[in-house]
C-alpha cells in the first residue's frame, strides 16, 4: 500500500472527520487531484469562519447530502446551504420499506447495508458520481451523518472508477476509524449525553474487511465498481469526465 498523504485531513472548527480525497495514489502513478472532492460528516456544526474557508480557500460550489429526510429535519441542511451553496439531496436509505440482502450468517451486517444502498438507491448513487464528474471547476463536499458509511461507499466507488488501487481505497475508508471518538465527543457535547463506553465506540469504527468484502461482491456479482456504475446509467462520457476531473497524472 502506498503512502496515503496524512495531510489530507481538513482542520475546521465544526468538523471531526473531514478530509480531501485528493492525494490518494493512482494505480500506475499520479494521485487523485486535490481540491475537487472533500468528504465529511454532517455540516450543521460549521462556524462562520469554516464556511468562509470552505467557499473561499477551498472553492466549494456544491454539496452532496446522502442523509435521509428525517435526518435533515432533525439536524438541518447545514451551514453551507445557508450560505447559498448548491445542495443535492441524494439519500442512500429509503424512508420506509428497506430490505437488506441475504449474505449468510458469517457476513458482516455492514456489508449488507452497503449493498442495500446500491439496491435501494441506485439512481442516487450514480447521480452522486455524475455530479462530481460534471463540475468543471470548484470543489464538491460529500457527506452523510458521520462521513464513514454512506460517504465511504460513494467515495470508494469514485476512487475505484478513477484508478485508485483497491488496497488504498480500503485504507482511506478505514481512516475514519481514527475519528470516531472525536465525532462522539462533538455529538455528546451538544446533546449533553455521556460518551459511550469504549466497546460501543469500537462498534462504529470502519473495519477493512467490510469494504474489502463489499468491493469483492461487486466484482463477483457485477464485474466491479465501474461495471456496476455503467450498468446503472453512468455513460462512457461521464466516466471519462470523472477521470479527467480527478486524475492528476503528474501528482506525487
**Residue 3 pLDDT level (bands cut at 50, 70, 90):** very low
**Residue 98 pLDDT level (bands cut at 50, 70, 90):** confident
Grid coordinates belonging to 56: 473561499
Q: Pairing mode, if any, of strands 31-32 and 60-65?
A: unpaired
Q: What is the dihedral of CA 49, 201, 109, 24, to 10 degrees?
A: 40
DSSP string covering 116-152 = HHHHH-HHHHHHHHHHHHH-SSSEEEEE-SSSSSHHH
DSSP string covering 200-220 = HHHHTS--HHHHHHHHHHHHH
**Residue 96 pLDDT level (bands cut at 50, 70, 90):** confident
CA distance 78 to 102: 35
Would 252 be classed as within a structural domain?
A: no
pLDDT at 5 over 50: no
> Which of 8-22, 70-84, 91-105, 196-210 is predicted with the least confidence, judged by mean pLDDT?
91-105
64 pairs with which residues across the strands? 88, 142
Would 247 be classed as within a structural domain?
A: no
Order of strands, sheet of 37-40, starting from the edge strand that comes earlier in the sequence: 19-20, 37-40, 139-143, 60-65, 86-89
pLDDT at 213 over 50: yes
Average pLDDT over residues 127-150: 97
Would 206 be classed as within a structural domain?
A: yes
CA angle 5, 21, 206 (to 5 degrees): 85
Structural domains in the chain (count):
1
How much of the chain exceeds pLDDT 70, in percent?
96
165: left (phi over 0), alpha (psi -120 to 50) or beta: beta
In this predicted model, what pLDDT tens digit does every residue of 117-137 receive, in sequence order?
Answer: 999 999 999 999 999 999 999
Residue pair 26/164 in contact (Cβ under 8 Å)? The answer is yes
Average pLDDT over residues 203-229: 97
**pTM for the structure as a whole:** 0.94
pLDDT at 1 over 60: no
Q: Which domain holds residue 144?
A: 6-95+104-242
CA distance 215 to 167: 11
Would 233 be classed as within a structural domain?
A: yes
pLDDT of residue 103: 76
Would 1 be classed as within a structural domain?
A: no
Would 249 be classed as within a structural domain?
A: no
Q: Give the residue among 159, 140, 196 at the shortest CA–CA distance from 32.
A: 159
Average pLDDT over residues 145-162: 98
pLDDT of residue 152: 98
Residue pair 85/186 in contact (Cβ under 8 Å)? The answer is no
pLDDT of residue 249: 82
pLDDT at 242 over 80: yes
Cell 474489502 belongs to residue: 212
**CATH of residue 120:** 3.90.190.10
How much of the chain exceeds pLDDT 90, in percent?
83
pLDDT at 4 over 60: no
Amino acid at each position: 500500500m502506498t503512502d496515503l498523504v496524512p495531510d489530507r485531513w481538513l482542520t475546521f472548527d465544526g468538523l471531526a472527520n473531514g478530509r480531501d480525497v485528493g492525494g490518494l495514489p493512482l494505480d500506475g502513478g499520479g494521485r487523485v487531484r486535490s481540491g475537487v472532492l472533500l468528504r465529511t460528516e454532517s455540516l450543521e456544526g460549521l462556524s462562520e469562519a469554516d464556511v468562509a474557508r470552505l467557499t473561499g480557500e477551498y472553492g466549494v460550489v456544491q454539496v452532496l447530502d446522502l442523509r435521509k429526510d428525517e435526518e435533515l429535519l432533525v439536524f438541518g441542511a447545514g451551514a453551507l446551504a445557508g450560505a447559498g451553496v448548491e445542495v443535492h439531496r441524494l439519500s442512500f436509505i429509503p424512508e420506509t420499506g428497506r430490505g437488506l440482502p441475504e449474505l449468510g450468517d458469517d457476513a458482516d451486517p455492514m456489508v449488507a447495508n452497503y449493498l442495500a444502498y446500491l439496491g435501494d438507491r441506485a439512481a442516487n448513487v450514480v447521480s452522486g458520481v455524475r455530479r462530481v464528474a460534471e463540475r468543471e471547476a470548484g470543489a464538491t463536499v460529500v457527506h452523510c451523518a458521520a462521513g464513514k458509511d454512506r460517504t465511504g461507499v460513494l467515495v470508494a466507488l469514485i476512487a475505484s472508477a478513477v484508478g485508485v488501487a483497491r488496497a488504498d481505497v480500503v485504507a482511506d475508508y478505514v481512516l475514519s476509524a481514527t475519528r470516531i471518538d472525536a465525532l462522539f465527543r462533538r455529538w455528546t457535547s451538544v446533546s449533553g449525553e455521556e460518551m459511550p463506553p469504549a466497546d460501543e465506540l469500537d462498534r462504529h469504527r470502519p473495519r477493512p474487511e467490510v469494504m474489502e468484502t463489499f468491493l469483492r461482491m461487486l466484482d463477483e456479482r457485477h464485474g466491479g465498481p465501474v461495471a456496476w456504475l455503467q450498468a446503472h446509467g453512468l455513460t462512457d462520457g461521464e466516466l471519462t469526465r470523472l477521470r479527467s476531473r480527478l486524475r492528476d497524472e503528474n501528482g506525487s
